[in-house]
Each structure stands twice: as structure tokens, then as C-alpha cells.
Amino acid sequence: MKRIPKREYTPEFRELAVKRVKTGQSIGAVARELGLVEQTLRNWVKAAAAGKLNGPGGKVISPEQMEFSRIRAENIRLKRENEILKKRRHTLQGMRCQVCLD
């Protein structure tokens, strides 16, 4: 099974996500809207509270790198979904349906 590549986010994106949570939106709703894992957003909120959201020495990520990372992760997810659908189709080919009317 292929490993999903680690997604990287710009410091501005992280700050925006944390601000949305601090304004009263739920972590789940913000995570869904931004395409994040809820635990990742929880970690960012916790790090922001500790003042370590964008720690020193963090590498700078361009928007192009972030988009490439997102597309790569989506590609892997879609390939997995495709494999699941192929397996299901193969198992259904041998099945026959019967309808019994009383």
C-alpha cells in the first residue's frame, strides 16, 4: 500500500485556519471546509495557544509546493478508491440475483 505524502501548509494558511476556530467555528467544520484532518487542526490550535504555531527554523513553503502536495495526496486517495471499486466489481460478477414471488 502506498503511503500518502505528508502535506505541507504555508504559515498564512495555518494562521487563517486557527483564526477561524478562535472566532467560534467548530474544528470539525473548519477542517472539512479546508480539507484538513481534524487532529491536524487541533494540533495547530494547541501550538498557537503555546505560541509555537510557526516555530523557528520552519521551512518556507511556496503556494505551488502546497498545491502540488495537495494534488499528490488527492491522486493517491483516488487511486485507492478506484482499487476498491475494482475489487467490488470482481466480487459481484460471480453473483446471481434471484427474485422469488410467493
Q: Which domains does the chain have, with CATH numbers?
A: 11-83 (1.10.10.10)
Tens of pLDDT, residue by residue over 24-66, are 999 999 988 888 889 999 999 998 888 877 755 556 667 788 7
- Using the structure block, give the residue that is written with the C-alpha cell 495555518: 14
pTM: 0.51
DSSP label of 14: H
Quick one: angle between helices 27-34 and 38-49, nearest 10? 120
**Is the model more confident about 17 or about 12?**
17
